[in-house]
Amino acid sequence: MTVRLNGEEREVAADSSAAQAVDAWRRDPAAPYAVSVNGEHVPRPRLAARALRPGDEIEVWTLRQGG
């Protein structure tokens, strides 16, 4: 199925969770991050339980320190 991840269309398996989609996209597994699905924040402990649906919009923010 097709979802949008940070504005880009991505194909994911029909039974994918938000955690699976985010893990496949992230480049630095150690970097802290935040996620929203369809504009709603999803706490990291709940990402694995958040099933995706066709057309879902996922935004991932990598947190960085600095000014």
Condensed to tens digits (0 to 9), the pLDDT of residues 15-42 reads: 999 999 998 888 787 788 999 999 999 9
> What pLDDT score does 28 carry?
80
pTM value is 0.87
Sequence-ordered list of residues with C-beta below 8 angstroms from that of 47, at least 6 positions apart, any chain? 17, 18, 19, 22, 35
> What pLDDT score does 25 carry?
86
* Residue 24 structure tokens: 């496949």
Q: Please give the share of the chain, as a percent, with pLDDT higher than 90.
A: 76
Cα-based distances in Å from 29 to 7, 25, 26: 20, 10, 6
Domains of the chain: 2-62 (3.10.20.30)
Separation CA 34–CA 46 (nearest Å)? 12
Residue 7 has pLDDT above 90, yes or no: yes
